[in-house]
Structures are given as C-alpha cells and as structure tokens.
Amino acid sequence: MASVQDIGVDLGTASVVIYGKGKGVVLNEPAVIAIERESRSVLAVGDEARRMVGRTPGTIVAMRPLGDGMIADFEMANAMLRYFVTKVVGKRLIGGPRIILSVPAGVNEMERHSLMTGLFEAGARRTQVMERPVAAAIGAGLPIGDAYGQMICDIGGGVTDIAVLSLGRVIVRETVKIGGDQFDDAIIRYIRRKHNLLVGERTAEDLKINIGSAIPRDEQFYMEITGRNLISGLPKVMRITSDEITEALDEPRQALLEAIHAVLEHTPAELVADIFEAGIVITGGGALLSGLAEAIALSLKVECRVADDPQECVARGCGLTLENWGEYGKFLGDRRKRG
C-alpha cells in the first residue's frame, strides 16, 4: 500500500495552505465554505465557494468560518478543514497520516482539541499543533534553534502575529487585529468618503494587490473600478491612483508599525540588539503589499525583509518539521495520538 501522506496544515482566516511531506505546497485555497442555509449541508469549499460569495440566492450562504484571527463558526471551520485534508490525503486512510497543524492565536484550547478530534475522525494517526510564529520562522528559513533574538511578523488576512523567538521558543508575542482585511476595509472607507462611491471587498482587495503600496511609489499606477454612486444609486466607473491607495492605507499601516514598535519595547535588551543586527522578517499574504517592508524599515530604523513565498511560510514550517524531525520536532506544542 502506498504510504499515506504526512502533511503540514496552516488553517488561516483568509486561506488554507497544505504542505505534503517531501512534496512541498500541495494546496492553497481560500478559507471559504458554501452551505445550504436550512440543512447546513456543504455545497462547495475553497476556490469554488469563493466564486459564490455575494452571488448566492437566499437559500445558500457562502462564508468564511474564521475571521479576526478567531473561529466564527466552529462547525463550518471543522468541516472545511476536514474537506481540505481529505482532498489532499485521499479517503484511503489506513495507517493514517501525521498532521502538524497551525491555527490562529485566537483559537482557544477547547476548539484546538475539537479540531484535532475532527482530524482523528477523518483518519489522522497523530496530530500536533505548532505555534504560528515558530512555524512561520521555520518556513522563512530562520535558524530558530540558535540562542539569538529573531523577530518574525506574520501578516495574515485577519491578524498580524508579532513575535520574538530565541532557542526555538516564543519570548515575546503580540497578536493584533490588523491584516489584509483591515487594509481592504480602509480602502472601502476611503473611496466612499472621497468619491461617494461604494465598492465591494473584492474590488478593494484587487486595488490593494494591483496598485497598492505602503509608501508612495515613484511611478504612478491606475486602476479602473466600478462601484455604486451613493448619490445616484447607479453604477459608476472610476480611475483610482496608487497614491490614493497609499493614503487610504495610512491608518492601518500606522497601527501596524506601532504594534511592532510596542513589541520591540517589551523585548529584553540583548534580544533587541540581535534583532537590530539581523533585521525583521515578515511573512503572510499581507507581507506582499508593495513597500510594506520598506515602511517598517524606515519607521523602526531596522532592516526588514519579506520571506520567500511569504503566504506559504506557516504551512512550509509545519511541513519542514515533518521532513526534519530531529531538528524541529522539539519545537512542537501539544501532541495527541489516536486511541
């Protein structure tokens, strides 16, 4: 029998990423599930469900079961996780895969336990939870076992996890509710205020990804969008510039910089010295915002770099732990075996 695949799983607010041992990232889909409202039966998950958001009839609801770094609907989060895991490892689970799971900081002990129970029921042999910052640091290639202070900021959809690690342990950690979602919200508010135009979340996210920047760009970019004019109530096409998006992002960017600053203030002096020497590493999809690393570096006067494939770092860290058990296995949190 072919061996069942061991996997590392990042259950995020915006996306779920799975790393197969010896294979790399095998799944990266939006954390969205569509259900039938009455029966609560699952209709679609991931990419397919995302296309339904905002386009469903009253009897169907397409939702994100996690938000603000927490689980909003446990039953749906559990169903979504099981669906993705089964999609990757298949239904033949004799022997059962080992799973290392990373969850948002706001997921409490009871919910973690229930998620793991759900994975056992789906056939997992062994499930362990890895703390987000530790997984992100391993995935970013940081030598986390050293007695040396390293700062990692995982900027996700709902939250940013700011942590200082040394000897593979979290020394200081702060989770703030600022992430890609708050950037999108700020863009929606800005366009409504400035242009009397109402745009949806998808449009706001497209603007952020395509022309957004945390610092003013040398070269201006434009994007044409369609929104609803709040005065006439009719659709209107408009050109938005990258400088406008930079301005729109002013508030959440400032809040993020202050949060990182506060963590540095609470970090022991020796470790701060290490961080100023080695720089800050940012991960998560939010780290892809153009100019964000520069904005952090300018504001805090410390080097800052974006990890390679930042959005996949947490899942990669979990997967690399399975591949390099001797080196990273000791940095895992709680462990549970079936039976």
Ligand X SMILES: Nc1ncnc2c1ncn2[C@@H]1O[C@H](COP(=O)(O)OP(=O)(O)OP(=O)(O)O)[C@@H](O)[C@H]1O
Q: Nearest distance from residue 174's CB to Mg ion, in Å?
A: 15
From first CA to last CA, the distance across the chain in angstroms is 23
Q: x/- string (CB under 5 A) for Mg ion, residues 98-137?
A: ----------------------------------------
Q: Nearest distance from residue 312's CB to Mg ion, in Å?
A: 10
DSSP 2: P
Strands (E), the chain: 7-11, 15-20, 24-30, 33-36, 42-45, 60-63, 66-67, 70-71, 98-102, 126-129, 150-155, 160-166, 169-176, 197-198, 222-229, 235-241, 280-283, 304-306, 335-337
CB under 6 A: which stretch of 223-231, 269-277, 280-288, 295-303 binds ligand X?
A: 280-288
Q: Among residues 183, 145, 166, 141, which one has the least CA distance to residue 283? A: 141
Q: Does 46 bind ligand X (CB under 6 A)?
A: no
CB under 6 A: which stretch of 123-131, 174-182, 193-201, 229-237 binds ligand X?
A: 174-182
Pick out residues in 3-42 that bind Mg ion (CB under 5 A): 12
Which of Mg ion, ligand X, none binds 286 (CB below 5-8 Å, type-dependent)?
A: ligand X
Report d(CA 265, CA 262) in Å as an integer. 5
Burial of 55 (0-12, 13-18, 19+ CB in 10 A): exposed
Q: Nearest distance from residue 34's CB to ligand X, in Å?
A: 18
Handedness of CA 113, 174, 328, 311 (dihedral sign): positive
Q: x/- string (CB under 6 A) for ligand X, residues 72-101?
A: ------------------------------
Q: Residue 69 or residue 139: which is nearer to ligand X going by CB?
A: 69
Q: Does 319 bind Mg ion (CB under 5 A)?
A: no
Pick out residues in 129-168 that bind ligand X (CB under 6 A): 156-159
Q: Could you give phi then psi for residue 172, rounded to 5 degrees?
A: -130, 140
Q: Among residues 289, 268, 145, which one has the least CA distance to residue 213? A: 289
Which of ligand X, Mg ion, none binds 321 (CB below 5-8 Å, type-dependent)?
A: none
Q: Which chain residues interact with ligand X by CB under 6 A?
A: 12-15, 31, 69, 104, 156-159, 179-181, 205, 208-209, 284-286, 288-289, 311
Q: Which chain residues interact with Mg ion by CB under 5 A?
A: 12, 156, 284
